[in-house]
């Protein structure tokens, strides 16, 4: 038991030790590579291969430890500082790699944000994402200025201002996996957190771009307030207006192109490899055009994803896209962020970085959320409970896009940015380590949500049955296929396993059960006409995750003949499928 628990720790330490060893040997290796042009090409291939390998290691280590993958990626980036030196020192390559990744990440953030919920909660989301983000940025910049004096450091005011803009946004990629394991009493709480985190990625980026524009003019002041006043000058206003206008316009054009692809696929059910190429092409090309017109490329990518409602016709394309984002670009950005800082700098700025992170998490974030959402507890059709506001104020992880912005600024060579990356890294690390671990506990204490789990055993009886597992209404068109299979194999019981997970509500459960009963009645009528055995419906609703319940069903030593699921349950790992004790069939 001890060996089983400590194996992930030893594996992580062994991986870090291996990367550090290779990294220490890297300078000699690169010296050899740089001797001629042909060898330099080999070096580029070696670097790309190294990033692929590090992303692979980060993914698997994060799955056997309780730490988020982003944190693991930063540690491996720090360990591989010398290994990745040719990338981090080449500003053009670094900027292109990070910009490309950020575009696809923001596009992915838009896809994950339900547009209907976004419209319904727009005022709350706007309050958090615009005045709330600006206040967060200003307070954090001011805090850095105060801590700078207390710790006796010489951090430029420009760095304090940039840190405020960069770190003010929250990260849907870090937040969504935690929220998926919780069932909320009020679904709007979750929708606000996810939607606002995606929007603040864009508004935080726009604020950072505004400050970079001010820096480019050569204006310098040691007063944080003066920097923020300059954002509201007519010149800055025109820049932001142009950024937003062309960003939104190109985002709509990108959405139209993708919608045309979806409509075309409706008449051609089969997906092709080229669909994925077009799917990746759109956010990249609208980003490029928006930038060339003076607009926000990041905003255009987000808008295109936000407006698009993916259908089953692009399921494989969506799956491939998510693998590219989660398996490569997100880890790569955090690996590069870690590689930008050496250990000595991280230690030197540890005091101010840790202090700033705790003030950020437990004072600035709660204060801005209370000010932004407090009025909605008194006014509006859907009043917000204070416990929900307090919960939202805690779930404020900072992650991928702030990391992108820091790496981008480091690649610009804009001058004295002492402390920017190490302080920013401390804030990102601590929000990603502390908040995801405590979120389920905070949700339970505030009675806002409860962890999705079901300790009760599934009781099926001894009658042979076929199981159709589902997360919602999507099983209804599949029920006929599963029922025919059962009837032809002389199975007389059809069991519907429903796991609503985070979408649970008594009303939805009741509606789905009624729909299942009506559908089975119609199926039985058809079976009777064909002189086939009719089916008995056994409806089981579970609180836990669908995969966990299917896993438990497969271990029952009698009764279950086969399990049918939709294609979206392909997030089962292959080893899990191989270990199932019954056949698992995927239905379209």
Mean pLDDT of the chain: 81
Taking the CA atoms of 331, 337, 343 and 349 in sequence, report the sign of the dihedral they define: negative
pLDDT at 146 over 90: yes
Q: What percent of the chain has pLDDT over 70?
A: 86
Residue 184's SS3 state is: strand
Query: What was the pLDDT predicted at 325?
Result: 83
Q: Any idea how long the chain is? A: 588
Average pLDDT, integer, range 109-129: 82
Q: Give the confidence band of 573 by pLDDT, cuts at 50, 70, 90.
A: very low
pLDDT of residue 6: 56
- In the prediction, which pLDDT does 30 show? 67
312, 314, 316, 322 alpha-carbon torsion, rounded to 10° = -100
Angle, to 10 degrees, between the axis of helix 400-412 and the axis of helix 187-216? 10
* pLDDT in the model for residue 579: 54
Question: What are 153-171's pLDDT values in tens digits?
Answer: 889 999 999 999 999 988 7
Rounded to two decimals, the pTM is: 0.76
Split at pLDDT 50, 70, 90, the class of 556 is: low
Q: What are the pLDDT digits (tens) for 486-506? A: 887 888 888 888 887 777 777
66 pLDDT more than 80: no
Is 584's pLDDT higher than 90? no
pLDDT at 574: 42
Calculate what percentage of the chain has a pLDDT beyond 90.
15
Among the residue ranges 13-22, 241-250, 256-265, 363-372, the one predicted with the least confidence is 13-22
Q: Would the pLDDT of 567 be above 50?
A: yes
For residues 80 and 23, is the Cβ–Cβ distance under 8 A? yes
**For residue 252, pLDDT beyond 90:** yes
C-alpha 227/C-alpha 158 separation (Å) is 8
> Bridge partners of 405?
none
pLDDT at 255 (0 to 100): 92
Name the least confident of 223-227, 405-409, 422-426: 405-409
Q: State the maximum Cα–Cα separation within the chain, in Å, rounded to a whole number.
A: 87
Phi, psi of 578 (to 5 degrees): -65, -30
Please report the pLDDT score of residue 572 as a whole number.
47
- Residue 568's pLDDT band (cuts 50, 70, 90): low
Q: All domains of the chain, ordered by start, with CATH?
A: 2-245+257-266+279-451 (1.20.1530.20), 465-587 (3.40.50.620)
* 481 against 30, higher pLDDT: 481
Are 356 and 329 within 8 A, CB to CB?
Answer: no
Residue from 394, 393, 398, 397 nearest 370 by CA: 393
SS3 of the chain: helix, strand, coil, percent, to 5: 70, 5, 20
Does 1 have pLDDT greater than 70?
A: no
């Amino acid at each position: 038991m001890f060996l089983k628990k400590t194996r992930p720790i030893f594996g992580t330490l062994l991986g870090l030790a291996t990367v550090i060893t290779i990294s220490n040997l890297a300078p000699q290796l690169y010296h050899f590579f740089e001797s001629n042009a042909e060898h330099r090409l080999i070096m580029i291939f070696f670097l790309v291969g190294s990033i692929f390998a590090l992303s692979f290691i980060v993914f698997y280590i994060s799955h056997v430890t309780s730490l988020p993958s982003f944190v693991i990626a930063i540690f491996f980036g720090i360990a591989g500082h010398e290994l990745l030196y040719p990338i981090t020192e080449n500003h053009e390559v670094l900027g292109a790699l990070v910009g490309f990744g950020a575009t696809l990440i923001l596009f992915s953030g838009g896809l994950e944000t339900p547009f209907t919920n976004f419209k319904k909660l727009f005022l709350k989301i706007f309050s958090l994402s615009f005045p709330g983000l600006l206040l967060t940025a200003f307070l954090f910049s001011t805090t850095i200025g105060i801590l700078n004096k207390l710790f006796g450091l010489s951090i430029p005011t420009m760095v304090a201002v940039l840190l405020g803009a960069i770190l003010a946004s929250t990260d849907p990629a870090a937040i969504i996996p935690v929220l998926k394991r919780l069932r909320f009493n009020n679904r709007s709480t979750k929708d606000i957190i996810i939607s606002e985190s995606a929007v603040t990625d864009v508004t935080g980026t726009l604020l950072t771009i505004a400050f970079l524009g001010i820096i480019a003019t050569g204006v310098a002041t040691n007063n944080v307030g003066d920097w923020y006043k300059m954002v509201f000058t007519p010149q800055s206003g025109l820049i932001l207006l142009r950024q937003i206008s062309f960003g939104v316009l190109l985002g709509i054009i990108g959405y139209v192109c993708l919608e045309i692809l979806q409509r075309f696929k409706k008449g051609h059910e089969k997906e092709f490899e080229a669909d994925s190429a077009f799917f990746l092409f759109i956010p990249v090309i609208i980003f490029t055009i928006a930038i060339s017109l003076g607009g926000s490329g990041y905003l255009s990518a987000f808008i295109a994803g936000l407006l698009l409602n993916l259908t089953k016709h692009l399921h494989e394309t969506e799956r491939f896209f998510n693998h590219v984002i989660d398996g490569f670009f997100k880890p790569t950005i955090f690996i590069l962020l870690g590689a930008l800082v050496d250990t000595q700098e991280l230690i030197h700025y540890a005091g101010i970085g840790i202090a700033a992170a705790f003030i950020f998490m437990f004072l600035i974030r709660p204060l801005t959320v209370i000010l932004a959402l407090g009025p909605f507890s008194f006014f509006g059709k859907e009043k917000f409970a204070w416990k929900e506001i307090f919960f939202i104020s805690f779930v404020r992880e900072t992650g991928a896009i702030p990391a992108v912005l820091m790496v981008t600024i480091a690649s610009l060579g804009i001058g004295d940015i002492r402390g920017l990356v190490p302080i920013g890294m401390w804030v990102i690390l601590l929000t990603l380590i502390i908040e995801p671990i405590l979120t389920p506990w905070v949700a339970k204490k505030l009675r806002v949500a409860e962890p999705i789990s079901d300790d009760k055993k599934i009781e099926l009886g001894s009658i042979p049955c076929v199981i159709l597992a589902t997360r919602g209404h999507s099983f209804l068109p599949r029920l006929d296929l599963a029922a025919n299979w059962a009837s032809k194999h002389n199975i007389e019981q059809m069991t519907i396993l429903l796991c609503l997970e985070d979408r649970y509500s008594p009303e939805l459960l009741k509606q789905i059960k009624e729909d299942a009963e009506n559908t089975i009645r119609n199926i039985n009528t058809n079976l009777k006409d064909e002189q086939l055995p009719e089916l008995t419906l056994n409806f089981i609703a579970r609180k836990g995750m669908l995969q966990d319940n299917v896993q438990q069903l497969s271990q029952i030593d009698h009764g279950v003949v086969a399990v049918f699921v939709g294609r979206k349950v392909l997030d089962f790992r292959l080893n899990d499928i191989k270990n199932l004790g019954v056949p698992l069939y995927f239905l379209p």
